[in-house]
Amino acid sequence: MDPAKAKEIYEDLYKEINGRSLSLEGRESQQLSSKSFVYGEAVLNPFIELIKEANPAPGGVFLDAGSGTGKAVFIAHLFFDFKKSVGVELLEALYKASEQVLERYEKEFRPQIKNDVGDREVKFIHGNILDIDYSNADLVFMNSTCFQEDLMEGLVPYVNDMKPGSTLVTLSKSINSPAFELYKQKMFEFSWGQGTGFYHRKK
């Protein structure tokens, strides 16, 4: 798709969404005080670069574990050829915002670009990233800068189910599992400043 058109749609989808304040509200109402829920989000151009660096094969599945308002999922969907882009988020306020964005996208924007995106799917799940199946994903992203040690450790048996050759990108800290080879590190800009992307390949 024409990247200028994709950018126009992406910016329109998120023009009225404030993830930071939705996250604060959500943490308060769900009484979640862990630092793992601290909010920050993907920035368009650097996140396109982050995905490009993973060199995803066409037709794969992208999964954002802790998807916030869904920005990373929409960047994957609009700028890359994933057959499915999925986000999982535990905070209800953020999940609901991502569902609202998706509803607008399906009604207002997908019909305009149906020749480009075909039946590529976008899906958001209200759930815990410690409670999902990673075995179908080709590229998993975790904006893990604020993920606490218990969460990073708890994720290991789940991501160990990823298929051989698939890619896991974490931010600011790597995953401690012998089932993965850490093959690249690169800095990218995020909403709060720079973070290092750790690229792991599943053995």
Angle, helices 71-79 vs 44-54, to 10°: value is 60
64 belongs to the binding site for ligand SAM (CB under 6 A): yes
Beta strands in 116-176 (DSSP E): 121-126, 139-142, 167-171
Which is nearer to ligand SAM, 97 or 117 (by Cβ)?
Answer: 97
Say if CB 63 and CB 88 are below 8 A apart: yes
Spatial distance between the Cα atoms of 203 and 200, rounded to a whole number of angstroms? 9
Query: Minimal CB distance to ligand SAM: which residue?
Result: 66
Which is nearer to ligand SAM, 60 or 87 (by Cβ)?
Answer: 87
Render 78-124 in DSSP notation, one character per residue. HHS--SEEEEEE--HHHHHHHHHHHHHIIIIIGGGGHHHHTT-EEEE
129 belongs to the binding site for ligand SAM (CB under 6 A): yes
Among 94, 102, 137, 175, binds ligand SAM (CB under 6 A): 94
Say if CB 189 and CB 46 are below 8 A apart: yes
139 belongs to the binding site for ligand SAM (CB under 6 A): no
Among 88, 101, 159, 169, binds ligand SAM (CB under 6 A): 88
Which is nearer to ligand SAM, 33 or 115 (by Cβ)?
Answer: 33
Which residues make up the interface to ligand SAM (CB under 6 A)?
23, 36-37, 39-42, 64, 66-68, 71-72, 88-91, 94, 128-130, 143, 146
